[in-house]
Structure 1
């Protein structure tokens, strides 16, 4: 759902170090000098704490923030406000234990930094003997969860682009085409964009997209705060069936989980990432406040008519509103090209060794084209923005943002000291993640079937 000055864009989530542990057990390292991971990081790892905070905020202020009014529609004004804080706290804690486990693992394994999939792999390799055989499975789960999450986000972006251009076209007497046609037309810019294999060529577009995105959010907030209805016109709470969809949409909105590890890995002083106040705590506090603000006033303004992207609710007859929709569509197309690197990397790392070196260029182009066609095809088949967000949030981000961090901390702490309370706490997080995933998937699939 984001960079040291010398680092690649942090939309790209990839592990930089080998997943093979150099030890087969938890042997003592007391005979070795204390290992400080930050002292051994590459010279490019020089992001300040302020820079890391900026990256986390930028990563979190993606398409998800404009989906928060939809989350409030599913829960109501009061439940949505309280629920945003609760979900934010749970997500912040899960990210905290993920990073803390990773940092302790770096000391144990004597590595400067590790990515998400490496953390999953090494935690099991350094854990109790009974779970070491599951290390490859843990890595695969993390890798494919990241890939599917970003593919789902790609589908969301396509639908936002299509809906935005359709609304603008309809306002100015354009052809009366269905959304599916506009989804298909996104292939025209997306195919060449996804064939760009060097990230440096996308950096200028990314900088432009950041400015445009802030302008779009500002315009949306302006309309939300204009002629605001009374609170009495909105539900304080909805039915229980809306809670799973609220949680799923919130999880999708808090999509920064994919960049937390890369941001920490690029920090000059990673010890300032956690703690109080700490970069992560400040970032998540700001995210919860901003998301709650947009969700509250977006739902208050548009009520049950609110869409999966707030810009789609803006007036059809005002130039400023139409400008915001076009800007958001442009940002989504550029963002698609960036986040598309993640699923491509996961797939290519598994196929690269099976393809002759002379055919690598054609293989890369073919995989990129097929992936682009697949995401556009899915968006054409189900051009419902809300359904995608709820499904991606329910499945992928429940696993990445909640389930895996709790499992990893439990596996890492097991046998390393008292952990009864820790196990109970993580069991609650796992239960919450599974409940959010199962209920969210059920209601999302029901919505898809009803749509079809």
Structure 2
């Protein structure tokens, strides 16, 4: 994500604000030409980063999502959701460009884009402008902390699956999770991300090997394809939707990557980085989910690595290695909420404090404590993934981009018949329905599972 301290002062004589923005649509100012990026990435580098940002724990959880949707419905729906996610990312990037052009600024963060969009959009939205950054930051922080919780549960469950083979004692998942508290604190306290770069390379290599091993296991002794149901129940579909959205949507990654490209105009083209990357990601996800569900059926676990034969040495090694990769990724994912909270809500008030560094470390440790408490309270990996996807990404990945686009083109650039207005209202409705229905289904299943003692 770009810096939260972008200066909202236009280069020309106009000032920012809803009544002081040049909106003739033919301005020569090009935000792309005014970006100052220290180390811009090439198209190939951006594509690699996009693939890495999308291919995480979600790909190992998506086979379970097919249990909720059914095989045929899951295949078709995953392609459709992948198309929806890609389109909404296009909408967001394009709308941010339009707003930057109006303001004559090179970059805007997501929260800033929401604030300015509400200021220049329909009158009914302008009252929400002062609160828009905080609302957007809330969803961003919740999303990133949710990912961290998923990572903690993933590591705990996979290490428990290995350790249970060597002990006769039934050690609870909570104890396995707590064993890793100090290492997780240590990695989130690393302020300089360059120190994590070599470990991130290792994590990428482990991820590639893991996918190969998953392919090895799921392609053996497949049952009859016709034995799998084509459709699941309507009530369970929101659980599928949340998990798939969590897996495919990468709104924070996309904004950061586009902002740091050497050739940002090639990000959104028909054969641009975004379309190529999301097409590859969607195909990989569909293939992995289809083969995983085909292999294990209704016995599929919340992470497909938990389905591997417990006595196989290869299965044990891959569980440990991928747990290490996810542990490394925790440091990167945890960095984002810490930076948002610290930069926007704490740093300025502590400028003159001699204990500024101490407070920052306390914030980092506090984030770890919070994620561990949530992980211990709700150690249901699949349902937690679905909840984070439905609650956060329905807003961040679908509804908010539509709101920003609607406002960016308001009032006289909405196309013939004001089709952009009606299309964006449709996307907002989809986002709200996905958030409400997905969150309700997930919370209902979480409560039911916890009440019955399932973990």
Report the TM-score range of the alignment, normalised by the length of the smaller protein.
Answer: over 0.9
**1:265 maps to which of 222, 245, 259:** 259
Counterpart check, 1:216 vs 2:210: yes
1:13–1:216: structure 2 CA closer, same or farther, 3 Å change rule?
Answer: farther
User: For residues 305-352 of structure 1, what are the alpha-carbon distances to aligned partners after superposition, in whole Å with 9 as ceiling and x for unaligned?
Assistant: 112221111110101111110011101111111110111112212022
Counterpart check, 1:415 vs 2:422: no
Q: Superposed, which structure 2 residues align to 1:161-172 within 5 Å?
A: 161-172=155-166
* Separation in 2, partners of 1:13, 1:106: 14
- Structure 2 residue aligned with 1:194: 188
Q: Does structure 1 conserve the Cα–Cα contact (< 8 Å) formed by 2:98 and 2:408?
A: no
**1:23 maps to which of 16, 28, 39:** 16
Counterpart check, 1:318 vs 2:312: yes
- Structure 1 residue aligned with 2:438: 440
* Separation in 2, partners of 1:174, 1:146: 42
* Separation in 2, partners of 1:163, 1:43: 40
1:135–1:216: structure 2 CA closer, same or farther, 3 Å change rule?
Answer: same
Structure 2: gaps spanning 5 or more residues: 451-455
- Structure 2 residue aligned with 1:180: 174
Larger CA deviation: 158-167 vs 103-112? 103-112
Name the SS for the 2:310 alignment partner. Answer: coil
Q: Does structure 2 conserve the Cα–Cα contact (< 8 Å) formed by 1:74 and 1:238?
A: yes
Per-residue deviation, 1:215 = 0.8
Counterpart check, 1:402 vs 2:398: yes
1:35–1:298: structure 2 CA closer, same or farther, 3 Å change rule?
Answer: same
**2:374 maps to which of 372, 375, 378:** 378
* Separation in 1, partners of 2:302, 2:29: 47
Counterpart check, 1:361 vs 2:357: yes
User: For residues 143-183 of structure 1, what are the alpha-carbon distances to aligned partners after superposition, in whole Å with 9 as ceiling and x for unaligned?
Assistant: 11111001001000000000010000012236421111111
User: For residues 359-383 of structure 1, what are the alpha-carbon distances to aligned partners after superposition, in whole Å with 9 as ceiling and x for unaligned?
Assistant: 1111011111111011111111111
TM-score of the pair, normalised by structure 1: 0.93
Q: Superposed, which structure 2 residues align to 1:107-126 within 5 Å?
A: 107-126=101-120
Q: Does structure 2 conserve the Cα–Cα contact (< 8 Å) formed by 1:403 and 1:434?
A: yes
Q: Does structure 1 conserve the Cα–Cα contact (< 8 Å) formed by 2:2 and 2:259?
A: no
- Structure 2 residue aligned with 1:239: 233
* Separation in 2, partners of 1:172, 1:318: 13
Per-residue deviation, 1:38 = 2.2
Name the SS for the 2:234 alignment partner. Answer: coil
**2:347 maps to which of 348, 352, 369:** 352
* Separation in 2, partners of 1:430, 1:307: 33
Q: Superposed, which structure 2 residues align to 1:304-343 within 5 Å?
A: 304-343=298-337
* Separation in 2, partners of 1:315, 1:380: 26
* Separation in 1, partners of 2:25, 2:211: 55
Larger CA deviation: 201-210 vs 392-401? 201-210
- Structure 1 residue aligned with 2:384: 388
**1:449 maps to which of 441, 447, 450:** 447
* Separation in 2, partners of 1:58, 1:309: 18
Name the SS for the 1:357 alignment partner. Answer: coil
1:276–1:26: structure 2 CA closer, same or farther, 3 Å change rule?
Answer: farther
Structure 1: gaps spanning 5 or more residues: 1-11
Counterpart check, 1:149 vs 2:138: no
Larger CA deviation: 302-311 vs 352-361? 352-361
Name the SS for the 1:445 alignment partner. Answer: helix
Q: Does structure 2 conserve the Cα–Cα contact (< 8 Å) formed by 1:206 and 1:335?
A: yes
Per-residue deviation, 1:233 = 2.0
Q: Does structure 1 conserve the Cα–Cα contact (< 8 Å) formed by 2:402 and 2:424?
A: yes
1:16–1:306: structure 2 CA closer, same or farther, 3 Å change rule?
Answer: farther
Counterpart check, 1:160 vs 2:154: yes
* Separation in 2, partners of 1:181, 1:43: 45
Per-residue deviation, 1:444 = 0.9
Q: CA RMSD in A?
A: 2.0
User: For residues 204-259 of structure 1, what are the alpha-carbon distances to aligned partners after superposition, in whole Å with 9 as ceiling and x for unaligned?
Assistant: 11111111111112111211111111112211111111211111110111142111
